[in-house]
Amino acid sequence: MTARILVMPGDGVGPEICREAVRVLDTLATDHGLDIMLEEALVGGAAIDATGDPLPESSLEAARAADAVLFGAIGGPAWDDQPRDKRPESGLLRLRAELDLFANLRPAILYPQLAHVSALKRDIVAGLDIMIVRELTGGIYFGKPSGMHKNANGKREAFNTMRYDEGEISRIGRAAFDIARARGGRLCSVDKANVLDVSQLWRDVMNELGREYEDIELTHMYVDNAAMQLVRAPKQFDTVVTSNLFGDVLSDAAAMLTGSIGMLPSASMDANGKGLYEPVHGSAPDIAGQDVANPLAVILSVAMMLRYTLKRPDLAKKVENAVGYALDRGLRTRDIMDDEKQIASTQEMGGAIVDMLR
């Protein structure tokens, strides 16, 4: 069956990097029989300029109809003064909520060729390949009650509620166990069960699921220790699953371990394998339109789409290998440039990947 892919380029460098990703998808269709149909829709600042809304109804409908969304990047100084619900970012938040994308997949991968850009010593980080699975639609960022008021002593007081029910925990747990099974077979669940009731339920449910996934090695770690271990010996991890807030912090820390945010893809998935795929980096308005942005994060997002929505791990591997070959050949966009390497433009890097996929 033909898979429908919606491309939402967005703002800043979004359009120019998505153009390279589309060339990759086109090549996979023509040369490797990938059965896809591409459409495009407005989102973010570009959508605000055209329609007044960062997520116009037509874009939302197209996203609903699609099997997967390839998302560029959004935002920029032109829209910073808008009220919160008219900012580009609110378009992405609404899209994730409307599509019920509760599983956020954040790989932290460091190609050995790029170990020099990391803040960590080469032997500690070269070849890093971990996957952080973050719950994205529950927890303290959405928990009720929340608010600010004056308390009985007349003092301002504010509060938020970290809340999960077993259904929310088990669906992200299942997603993570399945991912661990397709990877190294090890899953580390991160919580703060020594202090928090909500973490105790999290740990209980993970242990219950663990009995259904007997082939997966399940371990538990407290969030403060996980932050330490990520710095000390990040390669000890295979797949990590954690709640919304903890995942926000740990996935960003893990991304920065690699030193090369311009290389990192991500996915946000629903319960049926539909996903929104996007680079971790932002819209970088300062370099937009200059053909210098690194297209590898969005191209690696295509690889994730191939693996997790289109169920073509063989093609995912081809794309990932092509990226490795381009780095081996010495091609570097400006953000990952190194002495004695060859500077490549956005289009040259995309073209090199396409050539290797033919």
* Site for Mg ion, residues 176 to 235, rule: CB under 5 A: 224
Of the listed 197, 224, 314, 338, which one is catalytic? 224
Q: Are 280 and 266 in contact (CB under 8 A)?
A: yes
* Site for a copy of itself, residues 73 to 112, rule: CB under 8 A: none
Stretch that binds a copy of itself, among 18-26, 52-60, 249-257, 349-357 (CB under 8 A): 249-257
* Site for a copy of itself, residues 11 to 40, rule: CB under 8 A: none
Judged by CB under 8 A, the residue of 81, 83, 148, 215 near a copy of itself is 148
* Smallest distance from Mg ion to CB 130, Å: 16
Nearest-angstrom CA–CA distance, 303 and 91: 24
- 3-state SS record for 12-65: CCHHHHHHHHHHHHHHHHHHHCCCEEEEECCCCHHHHHHHCCCCCHHHHHHHHH
Catalytic residue flag (residue 192): yes
Tokens of 182: 């397709």
Q: Are 220 and 203 in contact (CB under 8 A)?
A: yes
* Smallest distance from Mg ion to CB 37, Å: 33
Catalytic residue flag (residue 141): yes
Nearest-angstrom CA–CA distance, 242 and 223: 9
* Site for a copy of itself, residues 203 to 232, rule: CB under 8 A: 204-205, 223-225, 227-232
Task: Look at residue 287 and give the partner it binds from a copy of itself, Mg ion, none, a contact being a CB closer than 5 to 8 Å depending on partner kind.
Answer: none
Cβ neighbours of 90 (radius 10 Å): 19
Judged by CB under 5 A, the residue of 39, 217, 252, 291 near Mg ion is 252
Residue 9 in marked binding region: no
Judged by CB under 5 A, the residue of 53, 67, 135, 248 near Mg ion is 248
| Residue 233 in the binding site for a copy of itself (CB under 8 A) | yes
Nearest-angstrom CA–CA distance, 194 and 218: 18
Query: Which residue in the shown chain puts its C-beta closest to Mg ion?
Result: 224
- Which one, 121 or 358, has the nearer CB to a copy of itself? 121
Q: Are 104 and 276 in contact (CB under 8 A)?
A: no
- What is the side-by-side order of every strand in the sheet holding 217-222? 36-40, 3-10, 68-73, 275-279, 265-269, 103-109, 129-135, 239-242, 186-191, 217-222
* Smallest distance from Mg ion to CB 255, Å: 9
| Residue 147 in the binding site for a copy of itself (CB under 8 A) | yes
Of the listed 248, 270, 277, 335, which one is catalytic? 248
Nearest-angstrom CA–CA distance, 19 and 13: 10
Chain mean position to CA 297 = 10
Residues with active-site annotation? 141, 192, 224, 248, 252
Contacts with a copy of itself, residue ranges (CB under 8 A): 118-121, 124, 140-141, 143, 146-148, 151, 153, 155-167, 192, 195-198, 200-202, 204-205, 223-225, 227-233, 245, 248-250, 252-253, 255-257, 259
